[in-house]
Amino acid sequence: MWGPVRWAVAAGALVLAGCAAKTAGGPPPPAPVTVSAPLQRQVVDWDEFVGRFEAIQTVEVRPRVNGYVQKIAFKDGDIVKKGQLLYVIDPRPYEAALAEAKAALRSAEATETNAQVELQRTKALLDQGFASKSAYDARLAQARTADAAVGQAKAQVDARALDVSFTRVTSPIAGRVSDHRADIGNLVSATGTEPTLLTTVVSLDPIHFAFTGSEAVYLKYQRANQEGTRTSSRYASNPVDIQLQDETGYNWHGRMDFVDNAVDTGSGTIRGRAVVNNPGNFLTPGMYGRMRLLGSGAYTALLVPDAAVSADQADKVVMVVGPGDTVAPHKVQLGPIVDGLRVIRTGLTPSDRVIIEGQQRVRPGMKVAPKPGQIIAAAPTAPQPAVVVQPAAEATRAQGVK
């Protein structure tokens, strides 16, 4: 029989044997991860710029005749139509001058009528031999002088009528008017070094969005234009989307309509401009915005979730499950975010099994237990137009100017 000591020793030996057997059972099971091939789709690149809205037309309203302001016919800050009355300058001196010019015209017409009658009478006498040729020539000269005087009098009437019309100052464009700069009773001048400023009017719909781009971006566009993958905005109305400072999406859409003819040597940038529809006149000149411009032609890209990209010192890597379900890092070159996914320019192939979930639990060379997943893009936040090379691009290459 065994005593209590022997039973305790035997029990301890059994426990140790069980622990040893468990330790000798092998490594832990492979870590589970979710993998998927990169998503392939046609995309275009969009480049971002910042800028401000500008009025397409800005007009300083100044008088064209001198006089006292008699009436202000607008409210400060109003929306005005083209031709809408803004100011009335006292028209009485100009109406009097017009009446005088009309009287002078009637006098000149009477003189002309009399000169024609005398000319016809002298012509009849000349034909009968009762008047000399010199007398007829004198009557002819008088008739021509009277005719010229009538023309001059008519021109004076037109000039005085213009002066009267200029006493009604109207808006030369449609848009928003500023405040009035001259009060009723003020004397305004149309002469001198600088005529009196009455107000300003800016157009609102459509409106310009002006910005500057770096020389590097400009060179990229030039190269693309040469290769025929993206037509220069000098010749194509490339699409733009604009986001206001209090917006989360790009809610305003327009088209490029101008690229400057030189790079600024001081800043190394070049000016560009887009035209944007402004229904309801919501956009105002001077407002700030963030714009994205079509930056490339359409191309097939590989996309992965941005969370699948990690940093390895200065490099960007994506964890891929290789042969034997072993994890291998792939150094990649990143592109932009498109519909919530990151474009991978280089470093992946369409058949790679990218780890899209569980990458935090793995390291290079580690065996994993992959299960299939799916990469899904978010709903598009911007149009992705196909880029068609326009004939202008061919002409551009022939000219050597983009």
Percent of the chain with pLDDT over 90: 59
Q: Please write the tens of the pLDDT for every residue from 63-85.
A: 999 999 999 999 999 999 999 99
Q: Please write the tens of the pLDDT for every residue from 267-320.
A: 999 999 999 999 889 999 999 999 999 888 778 889 999 889 988 888 899 999
Confidence (pLDDT) at 150: 93
Confidence (pLDDT) at 399: 39
Confidence (pLDDT) at 298: 79
Q: Which domain holds residue 97?
A: 91-166
Average pLDDT over all residues of the chain? 86
Q: How confident is the model at residue 376 (pLDDT cuts 50, 70, 90)?
A: confident
169: three-class secondary structure by DSSP: strand
Write down the residue that tokens 């034997």 correspond to. Answer: 324
Q: Please write the tens of the pLDDT for every residue from 109-137.
A: 999 999 999 889 888 888 888 888 888 88
Confidence (pLDDT) at 269: 95
- Residue 304 has phi, psi (to 5 degrees) of -135, 160
User: In terms of domains, do 124 and 249 share one?
Assistant: no
Is 20 or 50 the better-scoring residue by pLDDT? 50
CATH number at residue 352: 2.40.420.20
Instruction: Find all residues with CB under 8 Å of 152, minimum gap 6, and list them.
Output: 108
In a domain, 237, yes or no: yes
User: In terms of domains, do 195 and 67 share one?
Assistant: yes
* Residues 245-249, mean pLDDT to the nearest whole number: 89
In a domain, 279, yes or no: yes
Describe the chain by its helix, strand, coil percentages, rounded to 5: 30, 35, 35
Domain count, the chain: 4
User: In terms of domains, do 224 and 279 share one?
Assistant: yes
Q: Give me 175's structure tokens.
A: 């848009």
- The pTM is what? 0.70
Largest alpha-carbon pair distance within the chain?
183
Confidence (pLDDT) at 46: 85
User: In terms of domains, do 196 and 213 share one?
Assistant: no
User: In terms of domains, do 220 and 292 share one?
Assistant: yes
Q: Give me 124's structure tokens.
A: 């009849």
In a domain, 173, yes or no: yes
Is the confidence at residue 388, as pLDDT, over 80? no
